Amino acid sequence: MAFIIKDNTYNAAHFAETHNFPCPIFGLDESAKSKWGPLVERIKTAIGRQPEVYALTAYDALWVLALSAVSAGKDTGITNMKNIFVLQASNFFGVTGNTRLNENGDRAEGNYDFWAIRPIGPALDWRKTAQYNSATGVLTRYMP
């Protein structure tokens, strides 16, 4: 869906477009499409639009948290909860893919989509211009 840039936003959009300034966001894992596809359709039916990718990452985080709480039982001490959370994250493949954490507590793997503003006739629109897969180390560029 293209949009026409007006007023002050034109300067920022024009700069981003003319300087090929991409915006990275978390990207969906195609190997998890059998999980995220039906969930996205259910959400679209409920809210009338495509959910943001970060709603799906929050969905996975909540599942890991719930599984951790169930696994912890009555031992809810911080050390036990942290250990169980890391273990659950390491064993969970959710709608956004593998939720394994690295030594810093961040997701160890993830895809990143790069979006950039491109002219579409008299309007400007966001287009996915590249995708990086951290599991394979491959950066795929798409035509502008």
Q: How far apart are CA 35 and CA 54, in angstroms?
A: 15
The domain ranges of the chain are 1-29+111-144, 30-109
pLDDT score for 144 = 62
pLDDT score for 68 = 97
Predicted structure pTM score: 0.80
pLDDT in tens, 19-43: 777 889 999 988 899 999 999 999 9
Q: Render 109-130 in DSSP notation, one character per residue.
A: --EEEEEEEEEETTEEEEEEEE
User: Which of 93, 41, 84 minimizes the C-alpha distance to 65?
Assistant: 84
Q: How far apart are CA 25 and CA 96, in angstroms?
A: 13
pLDDT score for 89 = 98
pLDDT confidence of 108, banded at 50, 70, 90? very high
Which DSSP letter does residue 3 get?
B
For residue 12, the surrounding DSSP H or E stretch is helix 9-18
Q: How far apart are CA 130 and CA 28, in angstroms?
A: 13
SS3 readout for 86-102: HHHHHCCEECCEECCEC
Q: Render 16-81 in DSSP notation, one character per residue.
A: HHHTT--EEEEE--GGGHHHHHHHHHHHHHHHSSPPPHHHHHHHHHHHHHHHHHHHHTT---HHHH
Calculate mean pLDDT across residues 38-61: 96
Per-residue pLDDT for 2 more than 80?
Answer: no
